[in-house]
Amino acid sequence: MEEEFEVSEAQSQQPSFDIKAFLFRVLSYWKLFILFIGIGVFVVYQQNIRMQQSYRLATQISIEEESNPLFTSTTSLTFNWGGVSGKVQTMITSLRSRTIHEKVVENLEFYISYLKQARFRKNDVYLDAPFRINITPDSYQLLNVPIRITFLENGKYELYINFESELVRTQNYTDYKKANLDVSLGEFKQVFNLGDTIELPYLKGVIYLADERVAKPNDEFFILFSDFDAVVSKYRSKLRIDNPRNSAILNLSMVDVNKGKIVDYLNETVKVLSEDQLNRKNQFVINTIKFIDDQLNRVKNQLSLNADSLNDYRQKNRIYNLDDKSAVINSKLSDLDLDKDNINRKLAYYSSLKNYLITSNNFTELPAPAVSGIDEGNILANVSKINALSVQKSKYGSTVRKDATIFADLNRQIEGIKEVLLENISSVTKELNRELQNINNKIAIEDAKIRKLPEAQQKLFDIQRQYALSEKTYNVFLAKRGEADIIKSASVSDILVIDPAKDTGATPIDLKLSSRYLFAIIGGFLPPLLLAFLLTFLDNKLHNPQVLENISNIPLLGVVGKSPLENNLAVHFKPKSTIAEAFRSIRSSLQYFYKKHNLEGTKTVMVTSSVSGEGKTFCSINIATVFAMSGKKTVLVGLDLRKPKIFGDFEIKNDIGVVNYLIGQKNVTEVIQNTKVPNLDVITSGPVPPNPSELLIGERMDDLMEELKKMYDYIILDTPPIGLVADALELTEYSDATVYVVRQDYTKKGMINLINTKYNKGEIKNLSFIYNDYNQKGKYGYGYGYGYGYGYGYGSYGNGYNEDEPSKKTIITRVKSIFKK
């Protein structure tokens, strides 16, 4: 008998995630899908109608190596320490600096926004606004409060401001200082003529129409003044710099909602950068021109004084020209004086340069050595190098931390060049002093010759000599000034614009508004899918017989459908229903079991379950009924002493029952009650005792079973749930077959693990399952159409042989039926 129901060790538990259950659960959530998709589409629609599209525009520049000689034909005006690569990094650093962006914002006046009210926001119309405001210099303007401009007839407009606070913030866009200002709470309105000067404490300037623009009456626009530093920070963060493959090419790009602003900002940035770079490049020329101008002014004054002295002496003494001998001497002395002046100028430059090198830390204002006649190659090159390095250090000072390693490197290079320059200056100075001594000796010889001339000639000679020296010196500086102007005008920026920024029909970089609906649909699918996955993954209840077979080796005796009756006598009242057929199938399976194991005489069936509510009593009553309907004498014994139930369905009383017999108050015949079902008697549990477990394991229980076997063909034992109390385990010794009832969507998988353990340990033998309350549609809309070998299965009979009402097939039901197939 044990060979049929007892199997080998239980197979390992199958994965708890049921893909088919998940799919059918997803189908059952179709309303949630519609709801979430609808919400997603609605949200995207609201975002689309409120969203401003962003655009990306770019400009491309190249960093070139443009030389501009001043000192010699091979010496660059601004020595580039590091070549083009160094210049590129310098340009990138400059583009990221705050100074550049401050100049651009200031030039474009981007701290002033021109807005127009749209449906959901105020759009920045920039150049599309037909007017402009010219703010008064050194005046304070209202910050972050929209100023409405409504155009009227005859060139008038209304200015409107709504003050929500009595204290407002203002800013002066000349020095960028800010100040708080007291105002009257509420609305301010005033009408002005276009071109009139607005003189308000918080707004000063002139509003005028842009060139070739016309303002229509009732057109409304807004002016918004923004914090200058905030605007600079905004655009500074928006500028993107790309240096492909570390080449001499820089790609500048920016993203904004207004294409016109992007174009102007990028082009103005390149323009400001180019001007700044050219100014730094021409710093030597600028310093040189300033030095030459100072010398010209000095020599010009001296020349004028000498000319006046010469003319006065000639008129007073009536001596206008030197004789031939004096003229020769004068020519020699003039040349010697000019040579002497050149040497003195060089010595003065070297002395100034030496003092500058020793006392200064900034070498960006050195004049070009060429203006003092310096032609020493080492001096020229090293002055250029130290000047370039100093300019670079000064530039980094506004963008790089003072403790950065780049400063240490630059200082080390500068100190090295400075030491070399000081040695060069010392060597050249000694040589120049020797030349000066030689010239002084020659001058002394010629002076001696002059002393032999008449006194009047000597005086005229001295005056004319001073005048000639001043004139030649002035001409030298004047020539240098012209040379420097030519070089400055010939200087070109190292920045070459390859592709200026331009709006050529740029498309939005944001996701297309229509494409966003696709993501809304996908997003609408995700929450129900995630919910279905989590519920399926965390679901620990049985939802179909296949799950039960996957998690247990215990045989499945039969599947019982959902009863439409309130009474448990489903087989009695609906003998032709599918439920009745299911219990007949169970009866056949039990009879097959008894026959196979050669069981003779009275057969006993024990019915139990995990917990209360799984249909144990329902199955006990109907199993007993189908045996009784087959003509067999059957008794249903209620052994659930704690929670008796079976009496109510048979409309009998529970005053006397098993308890009365077990305590010795009544005999067997006195506790047996007849029912309206032919061949079926019932022994109710009777009054609830204080010690049910002790009663069930006593000797009187053995006597009861022996007496019942003499009177009946089948004994059906309705026992307590095995998962709650141990009573059912004690009663297994009286049963030939044990039926364990599980209920769809109710029984937990953990309880099956409990009965598996007891079954595998041999505590319960001849055990099988009844799957109760089976709903083919199921809680999640899936079914398996079971037709087990244990019986006919659910719905095994054809049309016309059952009393169940036909279900109405909806469209969804038909679709699910097709999916099942």
What are the DSSP calls for 24-79, one per residue? Answer: HHHHHTHHHHHHHHHHHHHHHHHHHHHPPPPEEEEEEEEE-----BSSSTT-BSS-
User: Does the pLDDT value for residue 745 go beyond 90?
Assistant: no
Least confident of 351-365, 689-703, 790-804: 790-804
Instruction: Name the domain boundary from 236, 251, 274.
Output: 274
User: Does the pLDDT value for residue 807 go beyond 70?
Assistant: no
Give the residue-averaged pLDDT of 753-758: 86
Q: Is residue 450 part of a domain?
A: yes
Range of the domain at 95: 57-70+82-274
Whether residue 584 sits in one domain with residue 554: yes
What is the pLDDT, as a whole number, of residue 723? 65
Helix/strand/coil for 131: strand
Helix/strand/coil for 538: helix
Give the residue-averaged pLDDT of 350-372: 67
Whether residue 219 sits in one domain with residue 351: no
User: Does the pLDDT value for residue 772 go beyond 60?
Assistant: yes
Non-local CB neighbours of 767 within 8 Å, separated by 6+ positions? 5, 554, 738, 739, 740, 755, 759
∠547-755-589 over CA atoms, to 5°? 70
What is the pLDDT, as a whole number, of residue 362? 64
Give the residue-averaged pLDDT of 255-266: 92
Whether residue 297 sits in one domain with residue 148: no
Tokens describing residue 700: 């009187």
Task: Round the average pLDDT of the chain to a whole number and report it.
Answer: 79
What is the pLDDT, as a whole number, of residue 317? 54
How would residue 184 be classed by pLDDT, with cut points 50, 70 and 90? very high
Tell me how far apart the alpha carbons of residues 110 and 124 are, in angstroms, rounded to a whole number: 11
* Of the candidates 519, 306, 288, 514, the residue with the CA atom closest to the CA atom of residue 383: 288
Q: Is residue 16 part of a domain?
A: no
Whether residue 260 sits in one domain with residue 305: no
Least confident of 1-15, 162-176, 199-213, 662-676: 1-15
What is the pLDDT, as a whole number, of residue 73? 38
CATH of the domain at 703: 3.40.50.300
Q: pLDDT tens for residues 192-244?
A: 999 999 999 999 999 999 988 999 999 999 999 999 999 999 999 999 999 98
What is the pLDDT, as a whole number, of residue 793? 35
How would residue 175 be classed by pLDDT, with cut points 50, 70 and 90? very high
Strands 767-774 and 737-743: parallel
CB atoms inside a 10 Å sphere around CB 661: 23
Q: Please, how many CA atoms are within 13 Å of residue 179, restricted to the half-sphere of its CB?
A: 14
Torsion over CA of 323, 325, 327 and 330, rounded to 10 degrees? Answer: -130
Instruction: Name the domain boundary from 274, 302, 326.
Output: 274
Strands 122-124 and 112-117: antiparallel
Whether residue 243 sits in one domain with residue 299: no
User: Does the pLDDT value for residue 802 go beyond 80?
Assistant: no
User: Does the pLDDT value for residue 157 go beyond 80?
Assistant: yes
Give the residue-averaged pLDDT of 663-682: 92
Per the structure, the count of domains in the chain is 3
Question: Which long-range contacts (C-beta less than 8 Å, at least 24 apart) are formed by 37-43?
Answer: 37/520, 37/521, 37/524, 37/525, 38/524, 39/524, 40/520, 40/521, 40/523, 40/524, 41/517, 41/520, 41/521, 41/524, 43/520
Task: Tell me the one-letter amino acid at 145.
Answer: V
Residue 250 burial by Cβ neighbours in a 10 Å radius (0-12, 13-18, 19+): buried
Share of the chain above pLDDT 70, in %: 75
Q: Is residue 170 part of a domain?
A: yes
User: Does the pLDDT value for residue 520 go beyond 90?
Assistant: no
The larger pLDDT score, comparing residue 541 to residue 586, is at: 586
How would residue 314 be classed by pLDDT, with cut points 50, 70 and 90? low
Give the residue-averaged pLDDT of 112-132: 91
* Of the candidates 345, 344, 337, the residue with the CA atom closest to the CA atom of residue 462: 337
**φ/ψ of residue 587, rounded to 5:** -60, -40
Tell me how far apart the alpha carbons of residues 736 and 605 are, in angstroms, rounded to a whole number: 6
Whether residue 548 sits in one domain with residue 485: no
Q: Is residue 534 part of a domain?
A: no
Whether residue 315 sits in one domain with residue 265: no
Tokens describing residue 597: 């194991």
Whether residue 411 sits in one domain with residue 334: yes
Tell me how far apart the alpha carbons of residues 78 and 69 are, in angstroms, rounded to a whole number: 9
Output the CA–CA distances (angstroms, integers) from residue 711 to 588, 621, 655, 674, 677, in the order listed. Answer: 22, 19, 22, 14, 17
**φ/ψ of residue 26, rounded to 5:** -60, -45
Give the residue-averaged pLDDT of 678-694: 89
Whether residue 270 sits in one domain with residue 287: no
Residue 130 burial by Cβ neighbours in a 10 Å radius (0-12, 13-18, 19+): middle
Q: Is residue 7 part of a domain?
A: no
Q: Are 737 and 626 in contact (CB under 8 A)?
A: no
The larger pLDDT score, comparing residue 551 to residue 712, is at: 712
Instruction: Name the domain boundary from 246, 274, 302.
Output: 274
Q: Is residue 529 part of a domain?
A: no
Q: Is residue 211 part of a domain?
A: yes
User: Does the pLDDT value for residue 100 go beyond 80?
Assistant: yes
Strands 147-151 and 714-718: unpaired
Distance of CA 481 to the CA centre of its chain: 59
Least confident of 16-20, 181-185, 397-401, 726-730: 397-401
Q: Are 155 and 229 in contact (CB under 8 A)?
A: no
Q: pLDDT tens for residues 442-497?
A: 777 766 666 555 555 555 556 666 666 666 677 777 777 776 676 666 566 778 88
How would residue 354 be classed by pLDDT, with cut points 50, 70 and 90? confident
Give the residue-averaged pLDDT of 129-151: 95
Whether residue 422 sits in one domain with residue 340: yes
Tell me how far apart the alpha carbons of residues 409 and 405 are, in angstroms, rounded to a whole number: 6
Q: Is residue 632 part of a domain?
A: yes
User: Does the pLDDT value for residue 310 go beyond 70?
Assistant: no
- H helices of 491-577, in order, are 513-538, 545-551, 570-573
Least confident of 278-292, 518-532, 647-661, 751-765: 278-292
What is the pLDDT, as a whole number, of residue 285? 67
Whether residue 575 sits in one domain with residue 435: no
The larger pLDDT score, comparing residue 45 to residue 705, is at: 705
What is the pLDDT, as a whole number, of residue 220? 94
Q: Buried b / exposed e across 79-97, counting CB within 10 Å, b at 16+?
A: bbbeeeeebbebbebbbeb
Give the residue-averaged pLDDT of 536-542: 82
Give the residue-averaged pLDDT of 281-306: 70
Give the residue-averaged pLDDT of 659-668: 90
Tokens describing residue 315: 């008129």
Whether residue 573 sits in one domain with residue 439: no
**φ/ψ of residue 753, rounded to 5:** -60, -35
Tell me how far apart the alpha carbons of residues 26 and 528 are, in angstroms, rounded to a whole number: 7
Give the residue-averaged pLDDT of 539-544: 81
Q: Are 195 and 165 in contact (CB under 8 A)?
A: no
Task: Tell me the one-letter amino acid at 76.
Answer: S
